[in-house]
Amino acid sequence: MNNWNLEGKKALVTGGTKGIGRAVVEEFVSLGAEVIFTARDVVAVHEMEREFQRKGFKVYGVAADAASQDNREKLANFLTNKWDKLDVLVNNAGTNIRKGTVDYTIDEYRKIYEINFFSAFELNRLCFPMLKASGNASVINVASVAGQYDVGTGSPYATSKAAMIQLSRSLAVEWAKEGIRVNTVSPWFTVTPLTDSYLANLDKLKQIVDRTPIGRVAQPEEVASAIAFLAMDKASYISGQHIMTDGGLTSGIF
């Protein structure tokens, strides 16, 4: 019996129009899942929804700002009206501003936390009844190597991702009895719009590649594959884990 698939699964993916989020949507639908994805850009959401639906996939886009509590609640209401359960939740929305700690304003710090951490916390909380209704749900929170090691991303990004890692561990224990698994996937540098400008600096790119045992940066699809595995029933005994998709970085250097 081949159950290396997501047939019949209903999944929500935040930050779904670009980079890792889009790759996750593509991976999920190719494995048979029905997907709702979110992003702030209304035009990008509608274009991507049409693109996938033309191919025959059950994909629905919702324009929502991860930093907005009102938007998060509206998204949860949309889910409740659309489906009677949620099998997979991927909290992928994220942002960053790189500078020294004393150079951040409190509003910049809060914005990064709202998108990186509080959006994940709130969607976990708001989606809990639907995850519980699944009876066999999987939550994957997308953090970062920066959440465990200092890799020069700036302190609000690093600490917000560290909080996400620990949230996953706490929820994995608390929600296990409800049939909900919770894990974290932490990428190293991946080719996405969030890192494009940084990786465009050839000196910085060389430093990153030289530090990485595999000798290159990741592609979004490589991170998405790890997320897809954790979403599958094949991963039914994996919970509370922090998986680094880092090309061997943290084993070879730290």
Catalytic residue positions? 157
Quote the DSSP letter at residue 177.
Answer: G
Under DSSP, is residue 22 helix (H, G, I), strand (E, B) or coil? helix
The beta strand positions in the chain, using DSSP E, are 10-13, 34-39, 59-63, 88-91, 137-142, 180-187, 242-245
Strand order, beta sheet including 34-39: 59-63, 34-39, 10-13, 88-91, 137-142, 180-187, 242-245
Tokens of 7: 């047939």
Q: Which residues, 6+ apart, have CB-to-CB distance to 19 below 8 Å?
A: 190, 191, 192, 193, 194, 220
Instruction: Note whether 240 and 168 are within 8 A (CB).
Output: yes
Give bridge partners of residue 36 from the DSSP assignment: 12, 60
Q: Which residues, 6+ apart, have CB-to-CB distance to 134 below 8 Å?
A: 10, 85, 86, 87, 179, 180
Q: Which residues, 6+ apart, have CB-to-CB distance to 73 below 8 Å?
A: 126
